[in-house]
């Protein structure tokens, strides 16, 4: 059995949960920010936000289209969105009300990484912890 | 070999608790095969099988000193894996930055409509 790894990212925004929800579910808005790299956005082909609904996104990878398919697992407006994203990866978006607006927590599960990666390199898990610390300090 | 093939090979080699144990043990320095076998209770055959798998993706190097096999880690070989992992983290940070910018923009235009929309 493959052991998988998950990564969590948290941000607090001044917008209320309903607006954050709209930014995740309204394709016109989503297409303006949802990407796979610092400078590359996904092209959203299908984004059918309902349990069992499908999603298809793609990007141009040096002239070759790179396509990712997935399925929405949980849809609970405006607090929870969970979808598969290519193979075993599952992305959970939790949106919670916060005195300043809302807190968004992304959990990216099913990453085929192992605990030993941390042991060997210290790199990835450290950077996630640093990110968490930086987020905590900036909130 | 493409970066994706390299990743597949690394993930394949590491998709096994005993092999991860071996790699973790080797982070402390080179170890002989009898020492490893004793430490983890592997049979000679099982240990050989795991080591061959780790050698195949270049993560572990075997050196022969007479009859003793010494294993050492090649930590650089993990680079594609950690690069890939950090890409995911970078992508999410960038996404959450962009989401913040989109939300800010929308709230600015709500509280203070831009000239082109307020002039109509």
Question: Over the stretch A66-115, which tens digit does the pLDDT of each residue have?
Answer: 888 999 999 999 999 999 988 778 899 999 999 999 999 998 877 654 43
Inform me whether the pLDDT recorded for A137 exceeds 80: no
- B73 close to B60: Cβ distance less than 8 angstroms: yes
Instruction: Quote the CA–CA distance of B20 and B40 in Å, as a whole number.
Output: 12
A74 vs B87: which has the higher pLDDT: A74
Strand runs (DSSP E) across chain A, as ranges? 5-13, 35-37, 40-41, 43-47, 54-61, 64-76, 80-84, 90-98, 101-111
Nearest beta carbon to residue B82 from set A9, A112, A121: A121
- Mean pLDDT value across chain B: 82
Distance of CA B39 to the CA centre of its chain: 25
Look at B91 and A13 and tell me if their CB atoms are within 8 Å.
Answer: no
A19 and B CB contact within 8 Å: yes
Inform me whether the pLDDT recorded for A37 exceeds 80: no
Inform me whether the pLDDT recorded for A1 exceeds 60: no
Which of these, A105, A94, A29, A42, lies nearest to A68 by C-alpha position? Answer: A42
Inform me whether the pLDDT recorded for A118 exceeds 90: no
Look at A20 and B86 and tell me if their CB atoms are within 8 Å.
Answer: no
pTM of the model: 0.62
Lowest mean pLDDT among A47-51, A134-138, B71-75: A134-138
* List of chain B residues whose C-beta atoms are within 8 Å of the C-beta of residue A3: 15, 17, 20
Q: Which residue has the tokens 């000193």?
A: B65
Look at B103 and A23 and tell me if their CB atoms are within 8 Å.
Answer: yes
Q: Are strands B68-73 and B31-32 parallel, antiparallel or unpaired?
A: antiparallel
Query: From residue A85, how far is each of A40, A68, A88, A94, B98 by CA, in Å?
Result: 17, 7, 7, 16, 20
pLDDT value, residue A134: 40
Look at B95 and A20 and tell me if their CB atoms are within 8 Å.
Answer: no
Query: To 5 degrees, how large is the angle CA A84–CA B96–CA A65?
Result: 55
pLDDT value, residue B99: 96
Handedness of CA A95, A96, A101, A107 (dihedral sign): negative
Inform me whether the pLDDT recorded for B102 exceeds 70: yes
Question: Over the stretch B17-61, which tens digit does the pLDDT of each residue have?
Answer: 788 888 888 877 899 999 999 999 999 999 999 999 999 989 899
Instruction: Quote the CA–CA distance of B14 and A135 in Å, as a whole number.
Output: 31
Mutation for A interface: B21, B94, B106, B109, most A CBs within 10 A: B94
Q: How high is the ipTM of this complex?
A: 0.76
A7 and B CB contact within 8 Å: yes
């Amino acid at each position: 059995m493959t052991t998988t790894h998950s990564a969590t990212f948290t941000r607090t925004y001044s917008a209320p949960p309903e607006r954050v929800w709209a930014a995740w579910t309204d394709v016109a808005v989503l297409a303006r920010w949802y990407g796979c790299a610092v400078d590359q956005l996904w092209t959203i082909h299908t984004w059918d936000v309902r349990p069992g609904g499908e999603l298809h996104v793609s990007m141009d990878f040096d002239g070759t289209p790179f396509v990712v398919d997935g399925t929405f697992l949980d849809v609970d407006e405006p607090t929870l969105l969970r979808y598969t994203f290519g193979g075993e990866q599952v992305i959970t978006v939790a949106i919670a009300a916060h005195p300043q607006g809302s807190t968004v927590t992304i959990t990216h599960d099913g990453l085929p990484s192992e605990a030993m990666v941390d042991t060997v390199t210290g790199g990835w898990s450290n950077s996630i912890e640093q990110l968490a610390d930086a987020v905590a300090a900036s909130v | 070999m493409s970066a994706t093939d390299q990743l597949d090979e690394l993930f394949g080699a590491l998709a096994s608790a005993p092999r991860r144990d071996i790699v973790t043990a080797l982070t402390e320095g080179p170890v002989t095969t009898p020492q490893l076998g004793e430490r983890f209770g592997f049979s000679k055959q099982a240990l050989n099988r795991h080591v061959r798998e780790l050698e195949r993706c270049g993560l572990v190097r075997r050196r022969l000193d007479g009859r003793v096999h010494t294993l050492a880690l090649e930590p650089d070989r993990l680079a594609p894996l950690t690069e890939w992992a950090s890409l995911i983290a970078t992508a999410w940070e960038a996404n959450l930055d962009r989401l913040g910018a989109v939300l800010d923009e929308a709230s600015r235009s709500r509280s203070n409509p831009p000239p082109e929309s307020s002039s109509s």
